[in-house]
Structure 1
Amino acid sequence: MIAQSVQSFLHQHGVQYDVFKHPARSGSYSKAIASHVPPSQMIKSVLLVDLQNQFLLVMIPADRMLSLYHVNKHSHRQFRLADESEISRIFFDCTPGAIPAFGHAYQIETLIDEQLCHKPQLYLEAGDQQQVIQLSQQQFHTLTRNCPRGMFSVFPDICPQFV
C-alpha cells in the first residue's frame, strides 16, 4: 500500500502515476530486478543526518552508490547515514526498510543525483516492500523542480567505501 504521506504528496501536485506490485525484496537494486526495471531507472533513497540532527534525503540510481564526500562538499555540512530508528521515526507511515523518494512529503530537504534527470521513466518506493511507483521524467521533474541537483553517486566498483 502506498504510504499516506507519499500518496498525498502526489495528489497535491496533480501528478499521474502508475503503481505495480513486485515480489517483496529489500534494497532498491533487488526491487528493480524483481520488477523487471533497469536499475539505473529505479530510485534509491538514502536518508542522512548532519551534526545538528538535520535530515537530508538523497535520491540516486539503484545501480550506483552514494558518495558522502560529494554530498558533504555540495552542502558544506557533515552527514552520516541515518540509523534504523531515525528512518522509522521520519517515515512513520512506511514499512520498515522502505524509504520513499520524496523527502518533501515528510518535510525533509532533498537532493537529486543528476543521473536521474536523463531517464525517460523512473521507478520508486511506494512506502512498502511490494509496490513501485512509475513516473515519467516530466512528472518527476514537476515533483522535484525545487530540489538541488548534482553528482552525488558513483558506480560501486570505483570506491567501495561509498554507501
Structure 2
Amino acid sequence: MTIAKRLKSHLESQGVSYETVSHPRTATASETAEAAHIPGDRLAKSVAIHLEDGHVLAVVPSSHRVDLSALQGLLDRRLGLASETEVKEIFDDCDVGAAPPVGAAYGVPVVMDESLRGLDRVWFEGGDHRTLVSVAGADFDRLMKEARTGAFGHRT
C-alpha cells in the first residue's frame, strides 16, 4: 500500500502518525467506507471546487454531499465543480476521484464541514482508489487547522 508522495511528505513533515488501510477498488466514497468497514461519517471526502480566481477543496463526510448553494453562501463567492482536467493538474500524483483532503500538501485552501472536527479517528483517500489513510482525530484537526469550517454538507 502506498500513498501519494506529496501527501506522505506533508504528513511526515507535520509529525502525523498514520496507518494505511487497503480496500477493494471502489468508485464512490460511500462504497469505499462500506468496503473498508468504516463509518461513512468518519471518512473525509474531497470535492475540488472552481472559483473565479482559483480553487478550494471542499471536505465533507462520505455520507454527505456538498451543498453548492450553502457553500457559495459560506464563501460569498461564485463557484462550481472543478473540471477533471483541473483536478488532474492540482492533484498530479493522485488518481482522479481519490484526492486527499489535506489541501496544504497541494497548496489548495480547504473549507471543511464542521461535522468532521473533534472526531476520535478520521480516514481519507491516500491518492488511489485502493488505499485509505487513517489518522487520530486530533491529528486530522491539526492538519486542517487552516481550513475554514461551516455547515455545507448534507446527508445523502
Q: Smaller-chain TM-score range?
A: over 0.9
Q: Which residue of 2 aligns with 1:34?
A: 35
User: CA offset at residue 150 of structure 1?
Assistant: 0.8
Whole-angstrom distance in 2 between the partners of 1:117 and 1:11: 21
Using the size of structure 2 for normalisation, the TM-score is: 0.95
User: CA offset at residue 146 of structure 1?
Assistant: 1.8
Q: Which aligned pairs between 1:10-29 and structure 2 lie closer than 5 A?
A: 10-29=11-30
User: CA offset at residue 8 of structure 1?
Assistant: 0.8
Q: Which residue of 2 aligns with 1:7?
A: 8
Using the size of structure 1 for normalisation, the TM-score is: 0.91
Taking only the aligned residue pairs, the percentage that are identical comes to 28
Pairs aligned (count): 155
Whole-angstrom distance in 1 between the partners of 2:155 and 2:141: 24
User: CA offset at residue 97 of structure 1?
Assistant: 2.3
User: CA offset at residue 99 of structure 1?
Assistant: 1.4
Whole-angstrom distance in 1 between the partners of 2:128 and 2:82: 19
User: CA offset at residue 118 of structure 1?
Assistant: 3.7
Whole-angstrom distance in 2 between the partners of 1:80 and 1:96: 17
> For structure 1, which runs of at least 5 residues remain unmatched after alignment?
157-163
Q: Which aligned pairs between 1:58-77 and structure 2 lie closer than 5 A?
A: 58-77=58-77
Q: Which residue of 2 aligns with 1:140?
A: 140
User: CA offset at residue 119 of structure 1?
Assistant: 2.4
The answer to whether structure 1 residue 125 and structure 2 residue 129 are counterparts is no
Q: Which residue of 2 aligns with 1:160?
A: none
Whole-angstrom distance in 1 between the partners of 2:97 and 2:114: 24
Whole-angstrom distance in 2 between the partners of 1:20 and 1:51: 36
> For structure 2, which runs of at least 5 residues remain unmatched after alignment?
none
**1:94 alignment partner AA:** C
User: CA offset at residue 47 of structure 1?
Assistant: 0.3
Whole-angstrom distance in 1 between the partners of 2:120 and 2:62: 15
User: CA offset at residue 43 of structure 1?
Assistant: 0.8
User: CA offset at residue 96 of structure 1?
Assistant: 2.6
